[in-house]
C-alpha cells in the first residue's frame, strides 16, 4: 500500500471538516489569541500534511486535528473568552508531539513563512522557538 498520499487525495471527501481556506480564515481570526507557538504549530501541521513523505496515519490525524481547530463549536466553544481555544491548543500540541520525529527543518521554515504571510511581521517573536 502506498503510504505517500498527496494532499488532495488525503483530504478528498473531507472538505466539510477541513480545507486549507477554512484553516487560513481561522488562523486570521484567532491567530493572535492562541499565541505564536500554537500558531506556528498549526502552520507546521499544515506544512507536514503537504509532505509526500509523511505516513498516511499521521496525515489523517493532522486532518482531524486541523478540522477540530477549524470547528467553532467543539469541546469548549471558541467564542468563550480566555478558555475557548484551550482545548484546540492542547490537541494541536499533542499532534506535534506525535509526529515530532517526522517534522523536518524545511517544514519548520515553511511554517514560519506561512505564519509571516498570514499574520504579518508584527506578530513574530524576536527570538527563535523550537518545536
Residue 129 has pLDDT above 60, yes or no: no
Q: What is this structure's pTM?
A: 0.77
Q: How far apart are CA 130 and CA 112, in angstroms?
A: 11
Cβ atoms of residues 40 and 57 within 8 Å: no
Q: Is 108 helix (H, G, I), strand (E, B) or coil?
A: helix
pLDDT band at residue 2 under the 50/70/90 scheme = very low
Task: Render pLDDT for 19-77 as a digit per residue (tens, 0 to 9).
Answer: 888 888 888 887 777 888 889 999 999 999 999 989 999 999 999 999 888 887 777 77
Half-sphere exposure of 28 (CA within 13 A, CB side): 8
Task: Render pLDDT for 91-119 as a digit per residue (tens, 0 to 9).
Answer: 999 999 999 999 999 999 999 898 888 87
> How many CB atoms within 10 Å of residue 85?
22
Nearest to 11 by CA among 45, 43, 38, 50: 50
Considering only residues 127 and 125, tell me which one the structure prediction assigns the higher pLDDT.
125
Nearest to 64 by CA among 25, 36, 94: 94
Kind plus residue range of the DSSP H or E element containing 57: helix 56-70
Amino acid at each position: 500500500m502506498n503510504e505517500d498520499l498527496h494532499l488532495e487525495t488525503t483530504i478528498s471527501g473531507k472538505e466539510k471538516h477541513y480545507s486549507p481556506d477554512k484553516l487560513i480564515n481561522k488562523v486570521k481570526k484567532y491567530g493572535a489569541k492562541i499565541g505564536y507557538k500554537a500558531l506556528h504549530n498549526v502552520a507546521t501541521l499544515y506544512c507536514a500534511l503537504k509532505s509526500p513523505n509523511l505516513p498516511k496515519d499521521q496525515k489523517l490525524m493532522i486532518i482531524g486535528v486541523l478540522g477540530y481547530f477549524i470547528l467553532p463549536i467543539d469541546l469548549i466553544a471558541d467564542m468563550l473568552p480566555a478558555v475557548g481555544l484551550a482545548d484546540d491548543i492542547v490537541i494541536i500540541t499533542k499532534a506535534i508531539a506525535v509526529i515530532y520525529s517526522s517534522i523536518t527543518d524545511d517544514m519548520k521554515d515553511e511554517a514560519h513563512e506561512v505564519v509571516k504571510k498570514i499574520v504579518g511581521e508584527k506578530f513574530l517573536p524576536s527570538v527563535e522557538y523550537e518545536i
